[in-house]
Chain A
Amino acid sequence: MLSLENVGLRYGDAPETLQDVTFDVAPRSFQFLTGPSGAGKTTLLRMITLALRPTRGVVTVLGHEVGKLRKDDIVALRRRMGVVFQDFRLLDHLTLYENVALPLRVQGREETSYRAEVTELLDWVGLGGVRDMRPNVLSGGEKQRAAIARALIARPQLVLADEPTGNVDPTLARRILRLLIEMHKAGAAVLVATHDLGLMDQYEPARRLVLADGRLLVFE
């Protein structure tokens, strides 16, 4: 599913942000990636989402070695991943329905072919009643649930979440975690970057990956 071997990354002449990072993510697994602020969690996630290339080492995503990917392959791989951001990153000029449907729309699918799917998913995350509203009038919890629905709609094999509970209260954080666990149970491999230890304690079966000073430790 995902594999990193002796991966290093540096920006310009600065010291390495990531050093000798090695780990695997198995299909249908759930793991938390944690560490102090500035440890490199977001950088690591950006590398996995193919937004950054490693300066050394080998990254393999969904069976493809990143260094050998062509542009078309990158697009195809991104369509097999779902990404959730701390700041939601919804498009304010689209309705919630359109935001959630976005991954299917950019694949060129007709709206009629996914309407029922998107409606069902919005109901599942509790947003059926606000499907035609725009994100700028919704609460942080609603936005994050919409972002999760968007990450899930294309049935991704790998779900990456970067501090998904960073902007919501503890009650909503638990609800969002439950959604991520549901995604895992539905068959996706899930990697959640967070520095919220309380959140990690709520799901014991998850593996913990701890990133500190650019190095990664794995706790099975």
Chain B
Amino acid sequence: MSDTLLHVQNVETYYGNIRALAGVDVEVRKGEIVCMIGANGAGKSTLMMTVCGSPQARTGSVIFDGQDITRMPTHEIARLRIAQSPEGRRIFPRMTVYENLQMGASLDNLKYFNEDVDKIFTLFPRLKERQSQRGGTLSGGEQQMLSIGRALMARPKLLLLDEPSLGLAPLIVKGIFAAIKKLNQEEGLTVFLVEQNAFAALKLSDRGYVMVNGKVTMSGSGKELLANPEVRAAYLEGGHH
């Protein structure tokens, strides 16, 4: 277990009195891509936000790199190099693409900025073309690239992606997922993503979890889950692809 990077143990999260997560266990090892699939309202995004400390888990614990981060404020969790591309992308709309990337490098005070920004522009050449354009004027796919790029600027140990495919054309999703795969293989970046697009996510991932009503009901390697008849029935056939 020494190579475990993120360990979510029996976490329960509440919004007021409503229980959104009912005892979730998730493990992400170094160098893995792990995905969490599930329907709308299953609690996927809540899990992601709980890892980031807003809202905080009521019971259970979140361990990152051997350190308990359950009760840490969000910005301190981010400083441990957990970078997030949040749900709805949340780029800064009135700032340019370049400035958005600059915000991502806040942690190191722009020490590696030029080096990293070149890397991101190689990964997403579209962002380079649009660098002096305002974030709010980008297309959905470009905004998603920017959101991921901004997260990468923090030189993360763990990258959290919340629905990177949301509202995007299949071709663009393919491109973004290819970029994630490339980062994982070439730099050993650990990725935990939450997705509704089960087929694409499972194909990308080393391992996957299925969440239903705030509980993890199934887990296994990406291939196993793709082949699993229940998963197929619930998330793959009739839905996507």
A binds B: no
Q: Which residues of B contact A (CB under 8 A)?
A: none
